[in-house]
C-alpha cells in the first residue's frame, strides 16, 4: 500500500478547498445579520425577531452568547456552555434562550449543569417565528 505525504501548506490548501473547519458539527449554516455572524440561520432569525420586539416595546434589549462555566476538565481548563441569548424585558425581568433546530443529549446535560450551578432556567426555541416575549 502506497501512502502520500503532504507538506503543511498542501494540507491547508486541501482543507480550504473542501471547507474543513468551517462547518458546524450539526450542519448549521453560519449566517450574518446586521454585521454579526451567527452560528445558524435560526439564531440570526431569532435576533431579527428580537429587534422587532424591541421596536414594539415588548423587549428592552438582548445580549448574545452568554458564557457559563459548568466545570473543569482533567487539565484544569474551564468547560463553558454558551447560552444563545439573554433577553431583558421592560419590567426588569430577563430570560435566557437557546435556539435549536433539534435538542441533543449533550445540550440537555449542559443546561442541567447551568441550572444546578446557577439556578437558571433556559427556554428552548425551535421555531423563532412562534416565540413570544414573556409578559
Amino acid 17: pLDDT = 57
Between 121 and 1, the more confident residue is 121
Cβ 40 vs Cβ 33: under 8 Å? no
Residues 6 or more apart from 71 whose CB is under 8 A from it? Answer: 78, 79, 113
Give mean pLDDT, residues 26-43.
87
Task: Walk me through the domains of the chain, giving residue ranges and CATH numbers.
Answer: 28-130 (3.40.1350.10)
Amino acid 92: pLDDT = 95
- Number of Cβ within a 10 Å radius of residue 77: 9
Amino acid 131: pLDDT = 95
Entry pTM: 0.77
Instruction: Give per-residue pLDDT as tens, 10-22.
Output: 666 655 554 444 4
Least confident residue range of 9-13, 31-35, 54-58: 9-13
Question: Got the DSSP string for 110-129?
Answer: HHHHHHHHH---EEEES-GG
Instruction: Give per-residue pLDDT as tens, 98-113.
Output: 999 889 999 999 999 9
Radius of gyration of the chain (CA): 19
Half-sphere exposure of 56 (CA within 13 A, CB side): 11
Amino acid at each position: 500500500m502506497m501512502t502520500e505525504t503532504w507538506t503543511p501548506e498542501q494540507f491547508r490548501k486541501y482543507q480550504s478547498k473542501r471547507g474543513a473547519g468551517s462547518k458546524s458539527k450539526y450542519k448549521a449554516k453560519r449566517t450574518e445579520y446586521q454585521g454579526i455572524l451567527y452560528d445558524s440561520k435560526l439564531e440570526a432569525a431569532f435576533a431579527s425577531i428580537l429587534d422587532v420586539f424591541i421596536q414594539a416595546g415588548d423587549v428592552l434589549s438582548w445580549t448574545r452568547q452568554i458564557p457559563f462555566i459548568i466545570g473543569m476538565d482533567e487539565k484544569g481548563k474551564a468547560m463553558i456552555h454558551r447560552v444563545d441569548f439573554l433577553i431583558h424585558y421592560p419590567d426588569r425581568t430577563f430570560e435566557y434562550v437557546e435556539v435549536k433546530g433539534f435538542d441533543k443529549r449533550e445540550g440537555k446535560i449542559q443546561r442541567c449543569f447551568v441550572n444546578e450551578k446557577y439556578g437558571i432556567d433556559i427556554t428552548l426555541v425551535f421555531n423563532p417565528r412562534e416565540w413570544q416575549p414573556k409578559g
